[in-house]
């Protein structure tokens, strides 16, 4: 069984790497790539639901393979290929611990850290750090029951970014938080008046990072990429991924 599983795993990552190389070449040819990145996330969600193919009357499974690892690998390899195409001599570290810190992606050159990227697919755990509506509701709840303090949570999240800045000797302006979609934490009724800038402003106020360092792929706050029906609707890609990559290249 081991050899069979190894073969499948190698093929799995080979497919993702080949896709990342295609995206890198598209970017080098001045083509936009965010739409294709969003589609990749949808594909990851679809394949994570593969257990439905083995469900029977006497055996059912609701287990979903996490998609975050595939997304991290895709973006890391995209940046690896971009670095080669633009002769940047980057080293890309994916989830590699150093000095008791483990950023999702670290870009370095000659041992010097240039950029750090934190990647999140599902944001439910960090609603208070990103979603202004949830934060306001949590503050009101805390004033009543004094149980969970959203300000304390936000400070802890911000301290992680401060730790990266200190350990890797880079300003916080060189740390990005990359999120394909905000739909999973967007309140469809209570937050219907909000747009991406409202989320960025809240993120800036609690993290200390510039608004532009919150990189979001999909402008549609009502499109949950994990929902097969909603994912069939045409995406509304931003150009923030392309802008971030351009910034990394030109630094």
pLDDT tens-place string over residues 52-63: 777 888 888 777
Averaged pLDDT, 65-91: 95
Q: pLDDT value at position 99?
A: 80
- The mean predicted confidence, pLDDT, of the chain is 93
Percent of the chain with pLDDT over 90: 78
Q: pLDDT value at position 189?
A: 86
Strand order in the sheet with 105-109: 91-94, 105-109, 112-119, 175-179, 214-216
- Structure confidence by residue, pLDDT tens digits, 96-130: 998 889 999 999 999 999 999 999 887 777 899 99
Q: Which residues pair with 91 in a beta bridge?
A: 108
CA–CA gap between residue 239 and residue 50 (Å, rounded): 31
Residue 196 reports pLDDT greater than 90:
yes
Q: pLDDT value at position 212?
A: 95
Cα-Cα-Cα-Cα dihedral sign, residues 106, 202, 34, 25: negative
| Tokens 């923030």, residue located | 240
Reported confidence tier of residue 192, pLDDT bands at 50, 70, 90: confident
Question: Where exactly are the structural domains of the chain?
Answer: 2-250
Q: Report yes or no: 216 and 182 within 8 Å, Cβ to Cβ.
A: yes
CA–CA gap between residue 201 and residue 196 (Å, rounded): 9
Averaged pLDDT, 126-141: 93
Tokens of 98: 């150093």
Reported confidence tier of residue 3, pLDDT bands at 50, 70, 90: confident
Reported confidence tier of residue 225, pLDDT bands at 50, 70, 90: very high
Burial of 172 (0-12, 13-18, 19+ CB in 10 A): middle
Residue 30 reports pLDDT greater than 90:
yes
| Tokens 């193919």, residue located | 53
pTM, entire model: 0.93
Residue 4 reports pLDDT greater than 90:
no
Among 21-30, 63-72, 131-140, the minimum mean pLDDT is found in 63-72
Q: pLDDT value at position 81?
A: 98
Residue 158 reports pLDDT greater than 80:
yes
């Amino acid at each position: 069984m081991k050899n069979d599983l190894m073969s499948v795993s190698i093929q799995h990552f080979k497919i993702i790497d080949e896709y990342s190389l295609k995206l890198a070449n598209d970017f080098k040819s001045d083509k936009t790539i965010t739409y294709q990145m969003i589609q990749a996330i949808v594909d990851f969600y679809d394949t994570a639901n593969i257990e439905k193919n083995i469900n029977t009357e006497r055996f059912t499974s609701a287990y979903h393979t996490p998609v975050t690892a595939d997304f991290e690998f895709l973006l890391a390899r995209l940046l690896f290929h971009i670095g080669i195409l633009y002769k940047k001599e980057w080293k890309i570290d994916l989830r590699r611990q150093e000095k008791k810190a483990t950023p999702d992606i670290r870009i370095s050159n000659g041992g010097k850290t240039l950029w750090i990227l934190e990647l999140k697919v599902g944001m439910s755990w960090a609603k208070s750090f990103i979603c202004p509506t949830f934060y306001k509701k949590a503050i009101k709840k805390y004033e009543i029951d004094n149980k969970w303090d959203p300000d304390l949570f936000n400070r802890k999240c911000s301290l992680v970014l401060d730790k990266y800045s200190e350990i890797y000797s880079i300003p916080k302006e060189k740390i990005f938080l990359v999120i394909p979609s905000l739909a999973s934490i967007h309140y469809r009724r209570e937050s219907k008046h909000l747009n991406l800038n409202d989320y960025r402003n809240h993120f800036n106020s609690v993290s200390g990072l510039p608004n532009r360092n919150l990189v979001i792929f999909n402008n549609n706050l009502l499109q949950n990429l994990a929902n097969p029906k909603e994912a069939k609707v045409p995406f509304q890609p931003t150009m923030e991924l392309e802008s971030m990559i351009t910034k990394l290249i030109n630094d």
